[in-house]
């Protein structure tokens, strides 16, 4: 099979990952697909504990940017190993399945599909597959539209993995994050993302989320954990972080339109009123 959009690339750990030729980005750089999926996403969501204690049933996870399904498989794997007795729904969002077909075609080189081939084939054929207590569903289309679809249950966990804000700007805006925040409402939701940039963090804050520091992965010494509930964050950003915002050359927030961009000092001043920082 020839793909114009992807190639396999060997990352520093020796694992193979996909590289998008269109966006010039590697899906899981340095450490490779499964180490990143487990360390950045699965571990930080504490799925077993949170699913078991959750008032919401089923426990709903959104996988934004299904891509080559490394995150989705790591999530399924977490529910194989753990003794969760509540029903779980995993909703994977992507505008197309090209990366997944490419990855399946290269399953042997990628390695992480081993043992999952049948389930993935069923998922591709039916748009849904069942693994233990997890119902895994495909949600096709642009995430900006799908986030508004009230037929998809609101999430308690979001694994947020589009391309970078430079390549994939439409998914990293106040508008998209606000729509996601509205879907969570008064519920408790945790979101993990590889970005730790000031502009992405201010964008989440302006959209009504709380922001914390996340685990290191690959070349990134820090990532971000976002929540609708401050008490869910192990390491929330402190008020002193606003000093960094005030000095930033790119303070955000990121928006759809050409829009007014506040000065860094103004952005920091506005964020002093956010409940995370208010004294
Ligand atoms: C870096 S890849 C995701 C890697 C994936 N999480 C994995 O584990 O293999 C980013 C994915 O986001 C998808 N994407 C980008 N923009 C999107 C949009 N507006 N709506 C839905 N999916 C989008 C791309 O098609 C691509 O598959």
pLDDT tens-digit series, residues 1-11 = 445 599 999 99
For residue 96, the CA-to-ligand 1 centroid distance in Å is: 8
Residue among 65, 98, 110 to mutate when testing ligand 1 (max atoms within 8 A of CB): 65
CA distances from 188 to 96, 137, 182 (A): 29, 21, 12
Q: Taking residues 216-243, what's their average pLDDT?
A: 95
Q: Taking residues 29-38, what's their average pLDDT?
A: 88
pLDDT of residue 13: 87
Please name the residue whose Cα sits nearest to atom 27 of ligand 1.
Answer: 67
At 150-164, the pLDDT tens digits run: 999 999 999 999 999
For residue 274, the CA-to-ligand 1 centroid distance in Å is: 30
Query: What is the C-alpha to C-alpha distance for residues 70 and 76, in angstroms, rounded to an integer?
Result: 10
Rounded to the nearest integer, the mean pLDDT of the chain is 93
Q: Taking residues 43-50, what's their average pLDDT?
A: 95
Question: Which protein residues touch ligand 1 with a CB less than 6 Å away?
Answer: 27, 37, 65, 67-71, 93-96, 99, 142-144, 161-163, 168, 170-171
In the predicted model, is pLDDT for residue 233 greater than 90?
Answer: yes
Q: Taking residues 264-273, what's their average pLDDT?
A: 95
In the predicted model, is pLDDT for residue 93 greater than 90?
Answer: yes
At 81-92, the pLDDT tens digits run: 667 889 999 999
pLDDT of residue 31: 86
Question: Structural domains in the chain?
Answer: 30-271 (3.40.50.150)
pLDDT of residue 4: 56
pLDDT of residue 161: 97
C-beta neighbour count of 13 within 10 angstroms: 17
Query: What is the C-alpha to C-alpha distance for residues 208 and 212, in angstroms, rounded to an integer?
Result: 13
Beta-carbon contacts of 111 under 8 Å, excluding residues fewer than 6 positions away, are: 15, 16, 34
For residue 72, the CA-to-ligand 1 centroid distance in Å is: 12
Q: Are 65 and 161 in contact (CB under 8 A)?
A: yes
Q: Which residues of 169-195 are buried (b: 16+ CB within 10 A; e: fewer)?
A: eebbbbbbbbbbbebbeeebbbbbbbb
Q: Taking residues 192-211, what's their average pLDDT?
A: 97
Query: What is the C-alpha to C-alpha distance for residues 85 and 66, in angstroms, rounded to an integer?
Result: 25
Looking up tokens 């989440």, which residue turns up?
204
pTM of the complete model: 0.95
For residue 134, the CA-to-ligand 1 centroid distance in Å is: 21
């Amino acid at each position: 099979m020839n793909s114009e959009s992807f190639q396999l690339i060997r990352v520093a750990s020796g694992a193979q990952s996909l590289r998008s030729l269109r966006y010039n980005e590697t899906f899981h750089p340095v450490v490779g697909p499964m180490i990143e999926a487990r360390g950045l996403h699965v571990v930080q969501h504490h799925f077993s504990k949170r699913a078991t204690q959750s008032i919401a049933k089923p426990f709903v996870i959104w996988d934004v940017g299904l891509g080559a399904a490394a995150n989705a498989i790591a999530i399924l794997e977490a529910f194989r190993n753990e003794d969760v007795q509540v029903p779980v729904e995993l909703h994977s969002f992507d505008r197309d399945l090209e990366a997944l077909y490419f990855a399946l075609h290269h399953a042997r080189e990628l390695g992480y599909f081993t043992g999952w081939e049948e389930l993935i084939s069923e998922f591709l054929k039916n748009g849904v597959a069942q693994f233990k207590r997890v119902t895994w569903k495909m949600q096709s289309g642009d995430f900006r539209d799908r986030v508004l679809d009230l037929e998809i249950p609101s999430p308690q966990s979001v694994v947020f993995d589009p391309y970078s804000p430079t390549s994939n700007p439409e998914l990293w805006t106040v508008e998209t994050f606000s729509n996601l925040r509205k879907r969570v409402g008064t519920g408790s939701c945790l979101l993990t993302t590889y970005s730790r940039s000031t502009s992405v963090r201010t964008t989440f804050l302006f959209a009504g989320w709380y922001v914390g520091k996340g685990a290191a992965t690959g070349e990134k010494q820090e990532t971000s954990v976002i929540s609708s509930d401050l008490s869910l964050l192990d390491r929330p950003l402190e008020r002193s972080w606003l000093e960094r915002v005030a000095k930033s050359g790119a303070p955000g927030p990121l928006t759809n339109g050409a829009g007014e961009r506040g000065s860094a000092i103004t952005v920091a001043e506005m964020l002093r009123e956010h409940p995370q920082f208010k004294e």
